[in-house]
């Protein structure tokens, strides 16, 4: 029988061509993957910001409570309490590690997925009269405002909200030092670059703009 196949030289040529193509395409593919993750994270910060805006429109309260009743105050709201980055990148703004470590916290799902802004959490103790958002009347909770309990960015890390600076939050209510409030991702390096300091405001130089490779969306700002 007369069987035909590839010669050794032909195999070497084919492998060489494949290797060259891989070398050419790999950086392009990597860039596209990174770009798609950045785009996804930008979109998610906007979705979360819009959900929080809807909560405020419906209830009249920003998500910052911890005590019984929609008041009390927290410093950070966490989209996933189990995946919060804690490090700061080189050249980070003042207090940048605070995004991952500072003060009182509460999960975002207690405001947007469950009606549970008081001292309870998760599915337990929802809709309590005088403690959680009202469930009747014009200003009532109309959630859920998100379709899943926890939300990670494209690199598997939690979004964080500097709820300390929401207007009216008793944790910080100094109108002489106005701040922006962000939904923020630590970005591809999983480290914070944006300032989180009472002394760094939207009117200082440098101000509290998003820093480093962090990705975020402003939700609100305190007035001067």
Specify the pLDDT at position 6.
65
Q: What's the rounded mean pLDDT across residues 191-204?
A: 97
In whole angstroms, what is the distance from residue 126 CA to residue 113 CA? 11
- Span 121-142, pLDDT tens digits: 999 999 999 999 999 999 999 9
Element at 171 (helix H, strand E): none
Q: Is the pLDDT of residue 112 over 60?
A: yes
Question: In this predicted model, what pLDDT tens digit does every residue of 22-54 receive, in sequence order?
Answer: 888 777 777 777 889 999 999 999 999 999 999
Counting residues of the chain whose pLDDT is more than 70, the rounded percentage is: 96
Cα gap 146→109, rounded to integer Å: 8
CA pair distance 141, 58, nearest whole angstrom: 6
Confidence (pLDDT) at 16: 87
SS3 for 192? strand
pLDDT tier for residue 224 given thresholds of 50, 70 and 90: low
Burial bucket for residue 128 (CB in 10 Å: 0-12, 13-18, 19+): middle
């Amino acid at each position: 029988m007369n069987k035909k196949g590839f010669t050794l030289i032909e195999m070497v040529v084919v492998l060489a061509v494949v290797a060259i193509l891989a070398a050419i395409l790999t950086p392009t593919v990597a860039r596209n993957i990174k770009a798609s993750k950045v785009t996804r994270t930008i979109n998610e910060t906007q979705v979360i910001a819009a959900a929080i805006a809807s909560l405020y429109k419906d209830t009249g309260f920003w998500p910052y409570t911890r005590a019984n009743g929609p008041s009390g105050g927290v410093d950070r709201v966490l989209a996933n309490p189990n995946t919060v980055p804690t490090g700061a990148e080189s050249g980070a703004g003042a207090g940048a590690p605070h995004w991952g470590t500072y003060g009182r916290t509460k999960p975002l799902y207690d405001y947007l997925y469950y009606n549970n802004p008081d001292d309870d959490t998760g599915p337990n103790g929802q809709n309590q009269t005088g403690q959680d958002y009202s469930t009747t009347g014009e200003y009532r909770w109309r959630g859920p405002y998100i379709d899943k309990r926890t939300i990670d960015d494209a690199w598997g890390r939690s979004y964080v909200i500097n709820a300390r600076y929401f207007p009216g939050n008793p944790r910080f209510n100094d109108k002489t030092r106005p701040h922006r409030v962000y939904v923020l991702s630590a970005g591809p390096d999983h480290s914070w670059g944006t300032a989180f300091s009472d002394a760094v405001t939207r009117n200082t130089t440098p101000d509290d703009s998003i820093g480093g490779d962090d990705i975020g969306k402003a939700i609100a700002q305190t007035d001067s």
